[in-house]
Chains A and B, each alone.
Chain A
């Protein structure tokens, strides 16, 4: 069981906004959060790093945010979700010398 909690699934119609929370379960993990998109059978793709930064080539409909004072939660928003965004999404962070992934959220575009 991951220390980072995500809802197992979310769904939305094309064009709507999808919000995926990532919770540290009340604990302040304190470190930067990344977000990954994973289509089964392919390699995961980095969407967001350092809480809210987007790598070159990632569409601006993907955005990340985090509580300004401490990491108790972070959020990935997909504004104007598209059919091609149907995938699994994972938050990730690091704690001391180890790294963690959230349990993952399956996004279904209706």
Chain B
């Protein structure tokens, strides 16, 4: 079975930094493009960014609100995904999910998010 276990959330002051982790099992992590999604209080799901696999240069892409402040990385030897968040603001408060496509892809090979971590809460407050 696919498992994605997240850790690293917590309370941090504005301007601070935090790193989230997502330890995976049950699928070929090294072959999976990995994504972070968040949900702010009272808001909808928001795509944060993605890291591709080694054959694609582990290229990262980010949504505009986090570009330059957040960094996604991966350790294929440990099947683990990371999200390094810096210069945090209160707008970054929310529940953060790691996610990926394991089984479900469209005709162009683009994956739909069929596997998710349990979510971890990040609170940015003075």
Contacts and interface: CB of A to CB of B under 8 A. Distances in A.
6 contacts: A49-B104, A49-B114, A50-B105, A53-B104, A55-B104, A100-B47
CB-based closest 7 A-B pairs: A49-B112, A32-B106, A43-B116, A104-B44, A50-B106, A34-B112, A49-B104
A46 B104 contact: yes
Interface in A66-83: none
Interface size class of A (residues with CB under 8 A): 20 to 34
A51 B50 CA distance: 22
B63 interface: yes
Interface of A: 2, 31-32, 34, 36, 38, 42-46, 49-51, 53, 55, 88, 90, 92, 94, 97-104
B44 A36 contact: no
B117 A43 contact: yes
A32 B107 contact: yes
A43 to B, nearest CB: 4
A101 B37 CA distance: 10
B54 interface: no
B104 to A, nearest CB: 4
B113 A34 contact: yes
B44 A103 contact: yes
Contacts of A104: 44-45
Contacts of B97: 43-44
